[in-house]
A and B are shown apart, each in its own frame.
Chain A
Amino acid sequence: MKINSPRSLQRIVISLVVIGLIALALGGYFQPVNTLFQRLTVDIQTWFSNRYLALVDFLTVPRDVVSLRQRNAELEAEVAQLQTEVITLQQKVADVEILSALLEFARANPQYSYTGATVIGRDPSPFYRYVIVDVGSNNGILPGMPVVTNRGLVGRVDAVIAEAARVQLITDSASAVNVRLQASNTEAMLLGSVTGDLSLDMIPQDATVQPGDIILTSGLGGVYPPNLLVGQVVSVRKLEYELFQQASVQPNVDFSRLQFVLIITDFKPVDIAPLIPTPGP
Chain B
Amino acid sequence: MRTFFTLLILFAAAISLQLSVISRIQLLSGNADLVFVILAAVSLQERARSMLWWSIGLGWLMGNISATPWYIFVGAYLLGTAIARLLARRVWQAPLLALLSVTLVGVFLLHGLTFVYRVLFETALSFTEVFSQVILPSLLLNLLIAIVLYPLLRDLIERLYPLEV
Which residues of A pack against B, CB within 8 Å? 120-128, 130, 132, 158-159, 166, 168, 173-174, 194-196, 256
Contact = CB atoms under 8 A, between A and B. Distances in A.
B66 A126 contact: no
A15 to B, nearest CB: 103
Nearest to B28: A195
Interface in B6-31: 18-20, 22-24, 26, 28-31
B147 interface: no
Contacts of A130: 66-67
- Count chain B CB atoms within 10 A of each CB in A121, A127, A130, A166 and give the residue with the most: A127
Given A123-B66, A124-B66, A128-B68, 6 more contacts: A124-B33, A124-B35, A124-B62, A125-B66, A158-B67, A196-B29
B26 A126 contact: yes
A147 to B, nearest CB: 15
Contacts of A168: 67
Interface of B: 18-20, 22-24, 26, 28-31, 33, 35, 62, 65-68, 110-111, 114-115, 118, 122-123, 125-126, 129-130, 133-134, 138
B31 A126 contact: yes
Contacts of B115: 127
B25 to A, nearest CB: 10
Given A127-B114, A195-B129, A121 B68 contact: no
A174 B118 contact: yes
A226 B118 CA distance: 29
A122 B24 contact: yes
Given A173-B118, A194-B29, A121 B19 contact: yes
Contact of A128 (B66, B126, B133): B66
- Count chain B CB atoms within 10 A of each CB in A124, A130, A132, A195 and give the residue with the most: A124
26 contacts: A120-B19, A120-B20, A123-B65, A123-B67, A124-B18, A124-B22, A124-B23, A124-B31, A124-B66, A125-B114, A126-B26, A126-B30, A126-B31, A127-B68, A127-B134, A128-B66, A130-B67, A132-B19, A132-B65, A158-B67, A173-B125, A174-B118, A174-B123, A194-B126, A195-B129, A196-B29
Contact of A194 (B24, B62, B130): B130
> Ordered nearest first, which 6 A-B pairs have the shortest CB separation?
A121-B19, A122-B23, A128-B67, A174-B123, A174-B122, A125-B68
Given A122-B24, A173-B118, A127 B33 contact: no
A113 to B, nearest CB: 26
Nearest to B110: A125
A271 B72 CA distance: 28
A132 B23 CA distance: 12
Nearest to B16: A121
Contact of A125 (B20, B67, B122, B125): B67
A81 to B, nearest CB: 25
Contacts of A174: 118, 122-123
A174 B118 CA distance: 9
A194 B114 contact: no
Contacts of B122: 173-174
Nearest to B138: A126
Contacts of B111: 126-127
Nearest to B15: A124
Contacts of B26: 126
B125 A194 contact: yes
A187 to B, nearest CB: 21
Nearest to B137: A126
A140 B67 CA distance: 21
A168 B67 CA distance: 9
A159 B63 CA distance: 13
A122 B134 contact: no
Contacts of B118: 127, 173-174
